[in-house]
Amino acid sequence: MKNHVVCLSTTNYHPLPTRKQNVMSRLRNSEVLYFDPPVSIIAPLKDKKASAYISKYRQPGEKVEGHENITVYALPPVLPFFNKFRWVNRLNQKRQAAFVRRKMREHGFGDETVLWCYSPSSCDIVEQVPHSSLVYDCVDRHSAYKGHITPEVVDGMERDLAKPADQVFATAVGLAETLEKINPTTKMIPNGAAYEIFSRVQTEKDALSCPEDMKELGHPVYGFVGMLQECIDYALIEKLAKERPDATIFLIGRTLPGVDLSHLKQYKNIVFHGLVPQPELPAYLAQMDVCLNVFRAGALSKDVSPLKFYEYLATGKPVVSTREPLQVEDFRDVVYIAHDADEFLALCDEAACENAPEKVEKRLAYGEQCSWTERVRQMEDVLYKKGVLHESPEK
């Protein structure tokens, strides 16, 4: 008998794979109903692209290519301000629960379902969805986000979700320390990397063709891969562009709404490339001399577990990082960690000149240790021992 898993995610399954997709796609002996996060009914006022998503919940579920055990659904739109007012969240979750229950019945999911949550707001859906086990996988300091939230409300919802959970996972030490006071089952398992994809930068370096839009760049090329969000330290990126005009800063990723980067567009040596599908990233990373992991100090940055950092390690490329997130200290023997802006500039220069094959090999080894295959194995070990998940009867 297969495990039945209902995943209430905070990230759409497509187009960018995050922790949620990587975990769900690697769970053994499991059928997964993956629910993309709902959009607010007023979202189209801020982002016209959200209009197409408002009615998407009426469409049939989508099977994931290569992972036919996963069906992806969109949830109905929600009322805004649910992170400010708990009563709004309760109204939203009542409607969400009815939708989830209907899809569960269509797929033959019953009381033995594992409910796997990523958002504190899911606390008010738990009692309305049949399940035998509850997993809370905490990936962020949710109350540290900006926007229409009241931190006390978000923290309260997280407590109400974590406390009854059969297992809590957390991606960072600070998150784990907070949550283990609420639920002693809490175990820290950081994010990881698709090692089989990113290690191609070294294993297939001669076979990776240089992308057309990278052929004429000035070197060294300092690369950044990830969402261009508020917690990134753009002052460091600007300093690097200004003081190293012959170098190129190549940014791969989407600029999130509310982030104004117009001041960086005056620099001709900063390239805003936009999104690149994950299978194509190795070709771009192979052309980078140094990978940048730059976060502004703050409550959110301290406890983040950036996928990009582990993906960088899996390439074997030199990495220059800020002190935050704190997890980078675990790799200080092969990562250049800057404590201030001047040191950041000096370390960028040093990393660009690195000629140390042993560091490349050690970064690759770290990347393999931090692979999603290994991370999910750790999670499954915990859940199998508890009986939350079950092995296939054939094994």
375 and 292 assigned to the same domain:
no
> Is 247 part of any domain?
yes
CA 84 to centroid of chain Cα atoms = 24
Q: Which residue has the higher pLDDT, 394 or 64?
A: 64
> Is 391 part of any domain?
no
Q: Which residue has the higher pLDDT, 301 or 282?
A: 282
First CA to last CA distance, the chain: 12
Q: What is the pLDDT of residue 67?
A: 95
375 and 365 assigned to the same domain:
no
207 and 94 assigned to the same domain:
no
Count CA atoms closer than 13 A to 243's CA, side-chain side. Answer: 13
CATH number for position 115: 3.40.50.2000
Q: Please say if the pLDDT value at position 127 is more than 60.
A: yes
174 and 104 assigned to the same domain:
yes
To 10 degrees, what angle do helices 234-243 and 341-352 make?
A: 60
Q: What is the pLDDT of residue 371?
A: 96
125 and 202 assigned to the same domain:
no
> Is 393 part of any domain?
no
> Is 52 part of any domain?
yes
Q: Which residues pair with 270 in a beta bridge?
A: 249
Q: Which residue has the higher pLDDT, 104 or 16?
A: 104
0.85 exceeded by pTM: yes
- Kindly state the helix (H) or strand (E) to which residue 382 belongs, with its residue range: helix 372-386
Count CA atoms closer than 13 A to 31's CA, side-chain side. Answer: 11
For 260, residues 6+ apart whose C-beta sits below 8 A from its C-beta are: none
101 and 206 assigned to the same domain:
no
Number of H helices, E strands in the chain: 15, 14
Q: What is the pLDDT of residue 17?
A: 92
Q: Do residues 72 and 37 make contact, with C-beta atoms less than 8 angstroms apart?
A: no
What is residue 48's DSSP assignment? G
Cβ neighbours of 153 (radius 10 Å): 20
Q: Please say if the pLDDT value at position 384 is more than 90.
A: yes
How many independent structural domains does the chain possess?
2
Q: How confident is the model at residue 258 (pLDDT cuts 50, 70, 90)?
A: confident
* Total residue count of the chain as it appears in this document: 395
Q: CA 135, 139, 143, 147 torsion: positive or negative?
A: negative
| Among 336, 245, 355, residue whose Cα is nearest residue 294 | 336
Q: How confident is the model at residue 393 (pLDDT cuts 50, 70, 90)?
A: low
For residues 66-91, average pLDDT:
96
- The span from the CA of 147 to the CA of 46, in Å, is 13
Q: How confident is the model at residue 43 (pLDDT cuts 50, 70, 90)?
A: confident
Q: Please say if the pLDDT value at position 289 is more than 70.
A: yes
Q: Please say if the pLDDT value at position 278 is more than 70.
A: yes
296 and 184 assigned to the same domain:
no
- The span from the CA of 49 to the CA of 7, in Å, is 24
> Is 395 part of any domain?
no
> Is 394 part of any domain?
no
Q: What is the pLDDT of residue 304?
A: 83
Q: Do residues 225 and 311 make contact, with C-beta atoms less than 8 angstroms apart?
A: yes
User: Which structure tokens are listed for 301?
Assistant: 């940055």
Mean pLDDT of the chain: 94
User: Which structure tokens are listed for 147?
Assistant: 């926007």
> Is 80 part of any domain?
yes
35 and 159 assigned to the same domain:
yes
Residue-range definition of the domain harbouring residue 207: 195-369
What share of the chain has pLDDT > 70, as a percent? 99
Q: What is the pLDDT of residue 42?
A: 87
Amino acid sitting at position 80: P
220 and 326 assigned to the same domain:
yes
Q: Please say if the pLDDT value at position 394 is more than 60.
A: no
Q: Please say if the pLDDT value at position 283 is more than 90.
A: yes
DSSP H helical segments within 318-371, as ranges? 341-352, 357-369
105 and 246 assigned to the same domain:
no
148 and 203 assigned to the same domain:
no
